[in-house]
Each structure stands twice: as structure tokens, then as C-alpha cells.
Amino acid sequence: MTRLQSAAASFLLAAALGVGGCAPKPPQVAAVAPADPRQQEIDDRKEHLLQQLATCESGSWGPQASPIYGGRGAYHGRFQFTPRTFITYTRKRDGTELTVKEAIDYAQTYDKAASLAWYMIYDLEEPWHWPLCSRKLGIPAQVRQIKQL
């Protein structure tokens, strides 16, 4: 074996040992504690109430293929938010400053709009933003029942 071949063989052996020693360890999976059944029921009831509100306001709940407008374009999305309301309550919730276009886009996105409605109804206790549907669905009474759980 020549000196060059010997050096190359030594290098390859060292590299092979080095790579073998750096084999990734299998990922450790954290144990997930079972959800509190009581809290799960509360969250399910809250989500169901939001679905009822979206259905009352716009005829259905969940993501939609095309934008939803009401009040001659003044209201947007499943929860029929005005851009000003969406901007104001987003700022109040987490300090995020939205433009009117962003507010309209977010109001059309079911998950973002539902998250804001959740905040307004359950955290701030302000279901009056949806006067007709709040009265029709008895939202204040439903919120009181959920709080008693």
C-alpha cells in the first residue's frame, strides 16, 4: 500500500467512525396528559356556541370558498365583523395594529374571526356586538351556563 493509499484509508476509517458516532438519537416523545374532561366539555360548548353564532349571522360556519359580505358590504365573514370592530378588538386583545384590508381579510378567515369572537364573548363578556343573533340564541344565558360548569 502506498503512503497516499494508507493516508486515504486512515481518513476514511476515521470518517466512518466519526459518522457512526454521530448517529442521531431517536426523538423522545413527551407524554401527553389526558385532557381534563370537564375543561373539554366547556371548550366544546364554547365552540358550539360560536358555530351557532356564525350560522345565525351568515348561514353557516367554518371556512368558505368565497368572501361573505352583509349589510351592503359593511360586514365581513361568518361573524359579520366591521373592519373597525376587527381592528379595535384585535388591538385590545394583543396589541396588533391592522390595516383595513388586513381586518377584512382576517374577518373572512373563519379561524381568525372565531378566535376574535371567542375573545369578545368569553373574555370580555360582550355578546352585544351581535344584537339579533345574541338575543335569538340567548348567548348571555348560554355563557352563564358555561361558566357554571
| Tens of pLDDT, residues 114-142 | 999 999 999 999 999 999 999 999 999 99
In this prediction, residue 8 carries a pLDDT of 47
Per-residue H/E/C for 17-52: HHHHHCCCCCCCCCCCCCCCHHHHHHHHHHHHHHHH
> If you count DSSP H runs as helices and E runs as strands, how many of each does the chain have, helices first?
7, 2
pLDDT in tens, the chain (149 residues): 554 455 445 544 444 445 444 545 555 545 555 579 999 999 999 999 999 999 999 999 999 999 999 999 999 999 999 999 999 999 999 999 999 999 999 999 999 999 999 999 999 999 999 999 999 999 999 999 999 98
**Is 42 in contact with 146 (CB distance < 8 Å)?**
yes
In this prediction, residue 101 carries a pLDDT of 98
Instruction: Delimit the domains of the chain by residue range.
Output: 41-60+67-149
**Is 118 in contact with 130 (CB distance < 8 Å)?**
no
In this prediction, residue 4 carries a pLDDT of 45
Which residues, at least 6 apart from 112, have a Cβ–Cβ distance to it below 8 Å?
Answer: 106
In this prediction, residue 28 carries a pLDDT of 54
| Distances from the Cα of 89 to the Cα of 48, 79, 117, 129, angstroms | 22, 14, 9, 11
